[in-house]
Amino acid sequence: MNKRASALEKMRQQEFDIAIIGGGITGAGVARDAASRGLKVALVEAADFASGTSSRSSKLIHGGIRYLENLEFHLVFEALSERQRLFEMAPHLVHPLRFLLPVYEGGRVPAWKMGLGMMAYDALSLYEAPELSEFLDVQEVHQEFPALETQLLEGAFAYYDAYMDDDRLVLETLRSACSHGAVVANYVKATGAQLANQRVTSLECEDQLTHTKFTLTARHFVSTVGPWTDLLGQKLFRDWKKMLRPSKGVHLTFSKSRFQLHDAVVMAAESRIVFAIPRHEMVIVGTTDTDYPGDPAEVRAEEDDVRYILKVIDRYFPGAKITRKDIIGCYAGVRPLIDDGAATESKTSREHLIWTDPRAVTFVAGGKYTTYRNMAQQTVEEVLSYFSLEERARWAHGQTLEPLNPLVSENLLERARSEARRWAEDWQLPESVTIALAERHGLEAEKIIEQALPVRARCKDPEEWMWCAEALHAITHTMCLSLTDFYLRRTHLILAREDHGLTFVPAIAQVMGERLGWDGKRQNDEINALQNQLNWELHATLSR
């Protein structure tokens, strides 16, 4: 990724073809698509990259079995095709996962209908899922999931989807955009627009770190601010009409040793579904779906959300005896849903909408992570329709099917796994550490290890050193500027570890401080800021 200071300099001085507002997955996708076609692209993000909805999802790349019920086959087909592409483009971030869909007598959807749905799901994936769906009888289900409720159980369907690292997907997409020439900066907020001849000609921006103001000039502007769309729209245009019906979704996290699951389980709760998702490092359970009219930056899990999810777990896994004492972490996000007048929040369409204001601003909102690449492509095509024919021809093709990180294609990931054994020998590191780095970064792990060798002696153990290595990498390649941003969006420490990874704080703060020029006071401020953020985000679950 480019350096922030030089990005700001360029933003002040140059004129761009497009300027993108918002650095979540949608903005990152648009930046990568446009820059890979050859457009001159700038992107500003008001806080840290991915700090909005894009680090607060269920972290699934999925076709969306629930759309089958409404016969929305086109949506499922599009999502399953994108799932396959993401397996190829980002094998270090997107991992196949088996799901179990239990069938209970008297359930809302009868078994025969689910069976038809599963057949459709396989067909719509063009039979490219890691494994095709199958039906398990009660005994097989009980063997695999002894804690699952068996009363009235008729069996379960097993099928495949995928889990992912949502925040890192944004960061890698932005890195790729930068490698194609995009200029990006976090902590820059778009606060207004300057117009000439009924067109927006530049954005008024404020650097959130220094509070200095500047204008960003471009020929066309793209809003990818997700749940902030109405707030930004009001700042840009006095005649803005409200577009969104934002909805809040909460997740709880558990340790894998306490909530033992081989596969993900789909649980039916009233009119929606809640997933229990085992991953490498933790189990995530969620989500809720409630209207959220407040400020998206202020969203967090509340007591009612926690109770709701625990109730669903207890209904499906009475034998597991999961209580609030077992919760490790929680997080909440806001879905930027388009208001389609539906009766309830869960019935509101998840489809995205792209529309252009004639004053040279294209807006995109709604949709899913899974289909971000398509959504970005459609957005850029919409933008290009406002450019000349000659330019449209020149910028007709992007390169968004290439691996996100050239050092982590499927083959290279395999090579990194075997290289990891050599790295362990060469540098006398535990294999568990070098393999973990290889799984997360492919062949790039070698550079990450080398860069962090000088700080090794001062770390209390190899795991602590690994997180210091991650911190150095985050600073160099992902514009990570604070301890909080590192903990929240470059690692899973807060959500996955009982101690939220706080045991590593002194070492990580010191390593980051040396690289970023923090004095002792600043280091303490960083540690306090992280603790305050943690207390705020986890307030509904910390009193366990």
Binding site for ligand FAD (CB under 6 A): 21-27, 44-47, 51-54, 56-60, 189-190, 224-228, 232, 249, 287, 333-336, 367-370
- Candidates 301, 256, 320, 323; CA nearest to 283 is 256
Q: Least distance from C-beta 336 to ligand FAD, angstroms?
A: 6
For ligand FAD, the closer CB: 187 or 254: 187
For ligand FAD, the closer CB: 244 or 429: 244
For ligand FAD, the closer CB: 44 or 312: 44
Maximum Cα–Cα distance across the chain: 71
Q: Least distance from C-beta 307 to ligand FAD, angstroms?
A: 17
CB neighbour list of residue 137: distance below 8 Å, 6 or more residues apart: 155
For ligand FAD, the closer CB: 245 or 335: 335
DSSP symbols for 348-393: S----EEEEETTTEEEEE---STTHHHHHHHHHHHHHTTS-HHHHH
Q: Least distance from C-beta 57 to ligand FAD, angstroms?
A: 3
Tokens coding 470: 């991650």
Counting Cα atoms < 13 Å in the Cβ hemisphere of 238 gives 3
Q: Least distance from C-beta 113 to ligand FAD, angstroms?
A: 24
Q: Least distance from C-beta 240 to ligand FAD, angstroms?
A: 13
Per this entry, what is the length of the chain? 544
Cβ–Cβ contacts within 10 Å for residue 504, how many?
A: 26
Runs of H (alpha helix) within 161-207:
166-179
Q: How far is CA 246 from the centre of its chain?
A: 17
Dihedral pair phi/psi, residue 200, rounded to 5°: -75, 130
Alpha carbon distance 134, 167 (integer Å): 32
For ligand FAD, the closer CB: 138 or 273: 273
CB neighbour list of residue 132: distance below 8 Å, 6 or more residues apart: 122, 159
- Candidates 53, 33, 57, 58; CA nearest to 43 is 33
Alpha carbon distance 538, 531 (integer Å): 10
Q: Least distance from C-beta 345 to ligand FAD, angstroms?
A: 11
Alpha carbon distance 146, 127 (integer Å): 30
Q: Least distance from C-beta 295 to ligand FAD, angstroms?
A: 11
Contact (CB, 8 A) for 540 and 301: yes
Q: What is the DSSP letter of 52?
A: S
Please name the amino acid found at residue 303. E
Q: Least distance from C-beta 315 to ligand FAD, angstroms?
A: 20
For ligand FAD, the closer CB: 39 or 184: 184
Alpha carbon distance 23, 516 (integer Å): 22
For ligand FAD, the closer CB: 299 or 448: 299
Alpha carbon distance 249, 333 (integer Å): 5
Q: How far is CA 384 from the centre of its chain?
A: 27
Q: Least distance from C-beta 346 to ligand FAD, angstroms?
A: 12
For ligand FAD, the closer CB: 54 or 491: 54
For ligand FAD, the closer CB: 190 or 408: 190
Q: Least distance from C-beta 167 to ligand FAD, angstroms?
A: 10
For ligand FAD, the closer CB: 10 or 515: 10
For ligand FAD, the closer CB: 22 or 501: 22
Q: Least distance from C-beta 244 to ligand FAD, angstroms?
A: 11
For ligand FAD, the closer CB: 163 or 316: 163
Dihedral pair phi/psi, residue 159, rounded to 5°: -150, 170
In angstroms, what is the C-alpha Rg of the chain? 23
CB neighbour list of residue 302: distance below 8 Å, 6 or more residues apart: 250, 540
For ligand FAD, the closer CB: 236 or 468: 236
Q: Least distance from C-beta 350 to ligand FAD, angstroms?
A: 8
Alpha carbon distance 86, 82 (integer Å): 6
Q: How far is CA 497 from CA 152, 253, 310, 327, 487, in A?
A: 36, 10, 19, 10, 12
* Pairing outcome for strands 361-365 and 353-357: antiparallel
Q: Least distance from C-beta 86 to ligand FAD, angstroms?
A: 10
